[in-house]
């Protein structure tokens, strides 16, 4: 018997295993999602904590399909909310039995509850099976994503400008590795501000704030 339901904490290892299987199911998946299972478990926990949605298809006591979704609120280029599907995947052993359709029906119900106008899905480019499945259900191309690593983009931009790194971009000295780690640590403290008290707001990489003596009257 097939059941579509929200994932529980105990389902997350099975969902992470399906995510790895989805990655390996595509010729370009390794490049786009080369995380280990423990990292995927962390991402899934963050997704749920941030209000994301994980729907699983359970058949005969096993999780055989999953939909990962986020409701994106209205913004500059969209007047109404949308449901964004980060992943739609059915294990090969459970395909051609209506599992994918059942998952998308549940996703459609979720979108209706949140008054979403559209549902977006971004399948891995090399996964033609998922693309054909979505196309048969009326999903049409809307936009294309391109990706670049931060380090590679920095190198290309600096090369295009033809200037030494520190001379052209003094802020790179300020936001070096130590500065970035400091910034990450401060953001983590900000998340727990209710427990940890005031946040250190001094400039990244700077020392203690200077104390100015009050100006004399007259």
Q: Is residue 108 part of a domain?
A: yes
Domain with 174, as residue range(s), is 150-196
- What pLDDT shows up at residue 188? 63
Q: Is residue 214 part of a domain?
A: no
In angstroms, what CA-CA distances link 18 with 39, 172, 189, 209?
A: 14, 40, 33, 50
pTM for the predicted model, two decimal places: 0.64
Task: Quick: pLDDT tens for 23-62.
Answer: 777 665 444 444 577 888 888 888 888 889 999 999 999 9
Pairing type for strands 62-72 and 82-90 reads antiparallel
Do 78 and 172 belong to one domain?
Answer: no
Do 69 and 123 belong to one domain?
Answer: yes
Do 57 and 118 belong to one domain?
Answer: yes
Domain count, the chain: 2
- Where does residue 156 rank: exposed (0-12), middle (13-18), buried (19+ CB within 10 A)? exposed
Do 125 and 155 belong to one domain?
Answer: no
- What pLDDT shows up at residue 41? 86
Q: In angstroms, how far is the first alpha carbon of the chain from the final one?
A: 87
- Distance from the Cα of residue 199 to its chain's centroid: 27
Do 166 and 58 belong to one domain?
Answer: no
Name the residue with tokens 């599992």: 99
Do 94 and 190 belong to one domain?
Answer: no
Do 58 and 157 belong to one domain?
Answer: no
- What pLDDT shows up at residue 137? 92
- What pLDDT shows up at residue 80? 86
- What pLDDT shows up at residue 32? 47
Do 76 and 164 belong to one domain?
Answer: no
Beta bridge partners of 4: 57
Residue ranges of the chain whose pLDDT lies below 50: 29-34, 167-168, 172-175, 193-212, 218
Do 118 and 167 belong to one domain?
Answer: no
């Amino acid at each position: 018997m097939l059941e579509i339901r929200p994932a529980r904490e105990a389902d997350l290892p099975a969902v992470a295993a399906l995510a790895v299987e989805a990655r390996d199911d595509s010729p370009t998946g390794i490049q786009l999602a080369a995380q280990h299972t423990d990292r995927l478990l962390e991402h899934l926990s963050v997704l749920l904590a941030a209000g994301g949605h994980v729907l699983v298809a359970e058949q005969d006591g096993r999780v055989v399909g999953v939909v990962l979704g986020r409701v994106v609120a209205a913004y500059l280029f969209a007047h109404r909310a949308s449901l964004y599907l980060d992943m739609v995947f059915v294990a090969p052993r459970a395909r051609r039995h209506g599992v994918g359709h059942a998952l998308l029906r549940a996703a459609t119900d979720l979108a209706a509850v949140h008054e979403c106008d559209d549902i977006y899905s971004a399948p891995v480019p090399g996964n033609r099976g998922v693309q054909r499945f979505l196309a048969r259900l009326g999903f049409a191309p809307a936009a294309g994503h391109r990706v670049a690593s931060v380090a590679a983009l920095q190198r290309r931009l600096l090369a295009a400008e033809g200037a030494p790194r520190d001379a052209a971009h003094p802020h790179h000295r300020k936001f070096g590795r130590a500065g970035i780690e400091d910034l990450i640590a401060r953001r983590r403290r900000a998340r727990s501000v209710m427990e940890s008290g005031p946040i250190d707001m001094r400039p990244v990489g700077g020392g203690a704030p200077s104390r100015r003596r009050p100006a004399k009257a007259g």
